Amino acid sequence: MSERVRVAVVDDQYLARGFFEGLVRMSERYELAASIPCAEQAIIFCDQNPVDLVVMDVMMKHGLDGLTCARSIKASHPEVKIILTTSTAEAEWIEKARRARVESFWFKEYSSTSLTEVMDRTMDGESVYPDSLPNPEFGIARKADLTEREQEVLRELTRNYTNEEIAQQLHISVNTVRNHIQHMLEKTGYKNRIDLAVNAKALGLVVHEDDRTENRTTKGGNRA
């Protein structure tokens, strides 16, 4: 029997990390090299120990996020294969992961492909990315019912920004921001901008760049 694949699982959520551990332990192909709750520790572990595959969440509560960690691991250990995972429906990270030379990307809540299959295909030399983007329900609509610009406005709205601040961030007029928000309210059936932001945040519909590490602060000191 050939040597088993050494896997480091990295997730700050205990249940998710336990799920990853279980998949590794049940497989004859893989062995658990480490179970790590913090991205920085993953970098250190890969520097000091032999690792073939890292399965890592994008979002972390403290310190470095998974995407930044993946870049660092790839810079020092390009031979280590990485699968980034997320429970959100944010699609922007897919292209960022590709640019970071991450082999594969897996949506925890929305993928029709099992993580074990993604691991196998990744170790067999494939780069496995979703064939389609998550399209969860958002009020009486779905994410795909929102235009790209509406999703950009929504992303800034989840940061508790005013219309004026959103306009400045996206280089559009305040009236355009108001129109986009009104269109989203009509599509989703939500009553106001607060409902839009709260539900988008709860569903992981859009996630701002700063949200990759939740300890970063937004305007007024609120957590992202």
What pLDDT is stored for residue 211 in this prediction? 60
pLDDT(20) > 80: yes
What pLDDT is stored for residue 219 in this prediction? 39
Question: Which residues are CB-neighbours of 63 under 8 A, at least 6 positions away?
Answer: 38, 39, 40, 213, 215
Torsional sign, CA 160, 155, 176, 144: negative
Nearest alpha carbon to residue 97 among 54, 133, 67: 67
pLDDT(129) > 50: yes
Using CA atoms in the order 13, 16, 19, 25, what is the torsion angle rounded to 10 degrees?
-50
Report the 10 Å Cβ neighbour count for 49: 11
Q: What is the pLDDT of residues 62-90, one digit of tens each?
A: 777 899 999 999 999 999 999 999 888 77
Domains and CATH numbers, the chain: 5-123 (3.40.50.2300), 137-221 (1.10.10.10)
What pLDDT is stored for residue 202 in this prediction? 81
More confident residue, 211 or 29: 29
What pLDDT is stored for residue 209 in this prediction? 62
Which residues make beta-bridge pairs with 50? none
Region 39-61: mean pLDDT is: 93
pLDDT(208) > 70: no
